[in-house]
Structure 1
Amino acid sequence: MMRSIGNKGTLMVAPALQNSSCSHSRYGPSGPPISIGGLAQAAFILTLSIGILAANLLLIIVINTRRYSKYIHSQPRYLLTSLASNDLAIGLLVTPFGVLPAVYQCWPYSDIVCQIQALLRGALTQQSAVILVCMAVDRYTCMLHPVKYHKHSTKKCLLQGCMALLSLTLIASLTVFSALVLPRGGYYFNLSGLAACDPFYRRPSLRILAACFFYFPTTMMLMYCYGSAFHVNKLRLKRTVCSVVGVPEDLAGTTIEKLVAHERRLSRSASRTMAAMSLGFIVMVTPWTIQEVVVACTGSKMPPALDFMITWLALSNSFWNPFLYWLLNNHFRRISRELFVSKIFCCRKKPTNPPSTSVSMHCCSTGASIPLPVPANRADFEGMSEKHWGEILERTVSSNSLQAMQRVYPPPPPPATLPRRTHQ
């Protein structure tokens, strides 16, 4: 619905939410009808919501465990945790509210819920783009200035500054969309696309500006940062560009080279994974941006099925981010599988002596111990504590080393009187 306001152009008016309410009088006592297409849309939304929640919750848990800390630096871990937390909020506060409206093809909740839904829909998606840009800048700094990055990345002040920056951007996004959504007529029920409430732009120019500001600066920063980082990494592949802090001077050069190679490997792995996540964002959001610009410029409407597919393709980026991280990181897959077995199935491995070739698995449900053979070449030495390594060294010194010393320095012969006493 629109109205002309003279020389100022055309002012759009949001459709009344009460006309889209499930309690409208046109539905009668039997309520709104249910269609097969609505059930299919609701099943898709519910499946995607569960996938977003499960995938991002797994990412948050695994990358913050002690076992995974040696495969990632502190700053990328914080940024990935922030992105996963933001996507988790989308899967918890935005996407599930589209299930019932998709089934009944009307809005079953109150006016305030619609307002909050539209506010979170705009602010959280914008915050995801900001976090992706911060991740790209972090990788750019790591690959182009590795010495300074590894020297300052572990400082608390830098992490606190990153936290403050993300908090300020989130507050700014909430403030902007609150000014847009909270006034009357700033939101509407988007049945054909989101199947929930969306921010409403009174002018087509505002709609184009919002879509372009969300897409183009983010895409340009991602492409520039990752393009420059990988180009410089390719040129410096055979040069030592990282410095190891805290290494004693008497260490051999091979040890330093191994540590530098390990740092390079971690940086390349993190950069490759974050670049794939950024590429996924560009692929998923591009059709939605084109649709927003075309609809705002032409004043037309997209077909409902196509609008639904494009809108939810953009929202599915919250699921593809942790999936791409799982797909491209074998350490993450291994630790996730171990946590899944130990926590979900309530099973834990009891520690045994290192030379043993079997372990005892104790399940909470039965309380029985089941011996399982473990190949020697696949033994997990990462989880051993310093106590186990001390026992190994102690046994080695007490058995092999002492026997070798006895062979080199044989004991003195017994006294001559000892055999006579034994003979008597």
Structure 2
Amino acid sequence: MFRSYAETPPKGWNSWDSFGASVTEEEVLGNAEVMAKSLKDYGWEYIVVDIQWYEPLADSCAYHPFIELRQDEYSRLIPAENRFPSSRGGLGFKPLADAVHAMGLKFGIHTMRGIPRQAVHGNSPILGTQKTARDIADTNSICPWNTDMYGVDNTKDGAQAYYDSLLALYASWGVDFLKVDDIADSKLYGTHSGEIELIRKVIDSCGRPMVLSLSPEPAPIERGTFFQRNANMWRLTDDLWDNWEQLYDMFGRCGKWSAFVGAGTWPDCDMLPLGHIGARTVADGSEARLTRFTKEEQRSLMTLWSIFRSPLLFGGDLRKLDDWTRSLLTEPYLIDAHQNGRDAREVYRKEELVIWVSESDTRKYVACFNLSDEPARLPEVAGEWLQSIGGEMHEVWANRTVSVAEAQTTFLAAHGVALFVTR
């Protein structure tokens, strides 16, 4: 059952926020080494190579339109050898995946839905069928922001064989996590249900468990049960960056989607743009920076993502991991809420004050958020939820033990959070 591939929400690192489309093997291994040494014991395990690992000249978040990509003889994209030298000789990502696995971690890649345009234009063959790339392509189904692919018409003879061969290749490399893009909700075409169902079927029969993550855009909530049936993760937003407006917006999205959270199926708030990011989000590296989120905003982000139980994919360069950011990623109470929580839900929202509650086998959680630009007192209604904890409780971010009465006098910083837990 595919849900067993991600019984708890996945945690890992993704290359996009730091390196855009241009990450290299050296950078992937460097980040994996830090995760293995410093974060693996806290449940962080996936190392995910994001978009355009098959593009030899990639240098930033910007895509080079209609550039020649690395491709094998069966219409399947393969790693660019200049960026991933261990892939030479037709080995693909297997040597890199083996190195990541040897560290006790899991390996993931990004892919675009569909079949390469250059394969269609060259009418290249598909393994396991007499049909060709041109036979299965839907040339009217194109990504509005990237020129690499045409869609696959899942009703065409040969479509199944193409995805069979593609997922067989990924399985042979040792892929544990597959992020498929331009599929959860396209600006032009909505949810690509046919291709999602085809990919789900092939993953289930390819012989290797893979977490299936669908991107991007705000996935339509009316398709929530469809996503639960077919994916382990699906994105609730377009790319999330380090600005308050997007973080503020996520509170509304989480409130609506909490009913769809469950073992193996995780609505995805997107990556954590924390720590050192932006090293190559533009070609000259001028965007390299520490996250623009304030410390209060970082605590609010980590608390919301954890209590809601979103997947956690860190976007910063782990080789530059600072003590502050590491403390956010290894906070024991957040780990418990994220991995073991249940029945998480928003129970109060008035103006800019929001309360979420959750519980695990050992603790109850009450998270009080202040979304306004000014400090604010804890809302009076918080008292009834604090009473459910009872007696003394621990306030995580202030690192203090308080009674219910003391907790009710708490002031919340602008954009900040107080997280109360059973002591």
Pick the structure with greater CA Rg.
1
TM-score by length of 2: 0.23
TM-score when normalising by structure 1: 0.22
Relative to its length, the structure with more helix (as a share) is: 1
Larger strand share, 1 or 2: 2
